[in-house]
Amino acid sequence: GAGVSQSPSNKVTEKGKDVELRCDPISGHTALYWYRQSLGQGLEFLIYFQGNSAPDKSGLPSDRFSAERTGGSVSTLTIQRTQQEDSAVYLCASSRQPNQPQHFGDGTRLSIL
Amino acid sequence: DQQVKQNSPSLSVQEGRISILNCDYTNSMFDYFLWYKKYPAEGPTFLISISSIKDKNEDGRFTVFLNKSAKHLSLHIVPSQPGDSAVYFCAARVRAGTASKLTFGTGTRLQVTL
């Protein structure tokens, strides 16, 4: 597709379970970002991948959160032992180069019961 | 600490009038500013940006103004149209060469009425 694709669009899970969120960036985009938006909040930066460089993980809220980007394309964000405060919309974005505008997917709405 | 602030959570404007959305920031290291528009259940869509070396950037009905001394930027939409009804996010980025993560404000919901 032409845009950033995220799956699933919605995920409901029980507290304590692990979840995996997927992002397919726009083809040819070297930079990939994960953000989350909690209710009533702005977007909060989580992690940033650029090419083969080590990712910027400075936004990950705890060691339960991890992400990887395989082959410089698809990325997965994993949340282990989910907590209720992890409930949010998780948004992925990509850009052709780091300093160019980021294009966002429609997000995954994660609900922890 | 909220480095990018949008103090108006909502704004209502009549169709055809000017919409002015405001954003303040505290980090003097920000050198690039963007506005995104977001419809419900969709991801944010890039609208317009401005570099800190400029004070104005215009694209059709959208103009962004930057006042560096006041650490303030605004988005003007004129004339406003019903399709402009959405949540608008202001975002900022630190100097080029460092991580390109964006810092977002909390958004302003614009309602354009008939």
Per-residue pLDDT band at A1 (split at 50, 70, 90): low
- CA terminus-to-terminus distance, chain B: 38
Interchain pair A104, B100: CB under 8 A? no
Confidence of residue B95 (pLDDT cuts 50, 70, 90): low
Q: What pLDDT does residue A40 have?
A: 80
Residue B22: φ, ψ to 5° = -110, 155
Q: Provide, as residue numbers in chain A, all residues whose Cβ is less than 8 Å from the Cβ of B104.
A: 35, 42-44
The verdict on a CB contact (< 8 Å) between A59 and B96 is no
Average pLDDT over residues A1-29: 94
In the stretch 68-107 of chain B, residues with CB closer than 8 A to chain A read: 89, 91, 93, 96, 99-107
Plot region of A16 (φ>0 → left; ψ -120 to 50 → alpha; else → beta): left
Residue-wise pLDDT for B35-65, tens only, equals: 999 999 899 999 999 999 999 999 999 999 9
Domain span at residue A51?
A: 5-98+106-112
Does residue B13 belong to the interface with chain A, where contact is any CB pair within 8 Å?
no
Three-state secondary structure call for residue B94? strand
**Phi, psi (5° rounding) for residue B83?**
-70, -10
Arithmetic mean of pLDDT over chain A: 93
| Contact flag B101-A104 (C-beta cutoff 8 Å) | no
Q: Does domain B4-113 sit in CATH 2.60.40.10?
A: yes
Q: How confident is the model at residue B99 (pLDDT cuts 50, 70, 90)?
A: low
Q: Which two tokens stand for residue B59?
A: 């694209």
Burial (CB < 10 A; 0-12, 13-18, 19+), residue A82, is buried
Q: Which of A56, A101, A106 sits opposite B49 (nearest CB)?
A: A101
Number of domains within chain A = 1
Looking at residue A99, its pLDDT comes to: 78
Whether B53 has its CB under 8 Å from any CB of chain A: the answer is no
The answer to whether residue B41 neighbours chain A at the CB level (below 8 Å) is yes
